Structure 1
């Protein structure tokens, strides 16, 4: 059974919860600067894996400026795992993204890729990535590293406690374009 570890976020605190028929347990925040909330869901919390096989899935579209940094950062994080792969999903990039991904794959047998003939959009890239991920757990990352790979081990650790889905939620976004317009503000 493949499972999903969804988007690690940095700059947050941890607040754990379990989706089930009973109330979510309270937990104290861990080290500041990590997850706002780390949410876990499972139908069978008693089912536990002793080791984790992980696919780091990275959708890409015209990422030539940042794809090498992403690859090196993710590769370093995956050293923590015995069985891991990086799956790049190139969504029809028109720059050198695909050529760079191919060079990573030629040098590193843990790198796999899917290449679309044109841009189909993020949802199609996610669908293909989840379909072709070969490991038990899939972690969705971003080529621009907005979802920091160095949080991946925390998601996996929680997952190995017996949850089928683990994700982090960011509280504070500091990146450009993250400001939401005030719905109360008038346009004039």
Structure 2
């Protein structure tokens, strides 16, 4: 029989966290009852895969997928969602910043009839302002610009009903921003509040650069406003150019000795228009690049090893 609950955890170089992660998850799923753990090895270079094999041999509830290389966090989560068998699916990270002890609260909300329950951060322990401030700004900017309402201060830690996951698995997007996709599905959604713990051990995997790349992906995937902004800026530049032409003509006719008619004015105008063009091309390139990724039709990921599943699915 299929389990009632499925827990999906992406793993990337987390050998120092896996034993403690399993200990805390085991305490939770022992109380839940029918549950499976799906640990997705995202091309780890340490002993993470070996530890996943050991856990699978010790506990039949532990299943694992190993990707042939590092495909990224969102793709690793997607791979796990493709294999889930439960009716309620919980996604959390392996660094224990998402406390497994909150899972019963997520389940309680699901039992009340909510199809999506996400964990909303009220505080981030031991995170510098350099990481907290950009995150704070991004979530509020995305909420204003996105075509769908994406909750503030939420990560991938959530519970999704089977119907939500089935729809996510049918979505063909390659540049996946799961936090936006699950909101797009709709249905009844709610949140629980929690304080995010510091990483239990090891180095941070989501660097500032990766966080910014994920933010850009979310913004481009769920909003056409950047394209409109480039259009508006282009129209503004055109208006400024017309105004400059009128002013230069006026200065030439009525104030030929004015210093504003010299080379510096022309150079500033050229740099301004050039900057507008380059920014607009860059924004357009982001969208065209995503079209290019979609039409290539490559699989989202490649599996090198599977443990705990009777059939292997290809993506």
What TM-score bracket applies, with the shorter chain setting the length? 0.5 to 0.7
Pick one of 163, 170, 177 that aligns with 2:121: 170
Aligned to 2:151: none
Equivalent residues in 2 for 1:1-188, closer than 5 Å = 53-177=4-128, 178-181=131-134
* 3-state secondary structure, aligned to 1:65: coil
Q: Which has the larger radius of gyration?
A: 2
For the residues of structure 1 that align with 2:106 and 2:132, how far apart are their CA atoms?
27
Post-superposition CA distance 1:138-183 (Å, at most 9, x none): 1111111111110000100110111111112001111335422597
Aligned to 1:44: none
Q: Gaps spanning 5+ residues in structure 1: where?
A: 1-51, 184-188
Deviation at 1:56, TM superposition (A): 1.3
Deviation at 1:116, TM superposition (A): 0.4
> Which protein is richer in helix relative to its size?
2
For the residues of structure 1 that align with 2:5 and 2:96, how far apart are their CA atoms?
18
Q: How many residues align?
A: 132
For the residues of structure 1 that align with 2:126 and 2:100, how far apart are their CA atoms?
17
Post-superposition CA distance 1:70-129 (Å, at most 9, x none): 011111111111210111000000100000011000000000001001000011101111
For the residues of structure 1 that align with 2:5 and 2:126, how far apart are their CA atoms?
28
> Which protein is richer in strand relative to its size?
1
For the residues of structure 2 that align with 1:88 and 1:149, how far apart are their CA atoms?
14
For the residues of structure 2 that align with 1:166 and 1:175, how far apart are their CA atoms?
25
Deviation at 1:134, TM superposition (A): 1.1
Q: TM-score if structure 1 supplies the norm length?
A: 0.67
What do you get for the CA RMSD once the two structures are aligned?
1.6
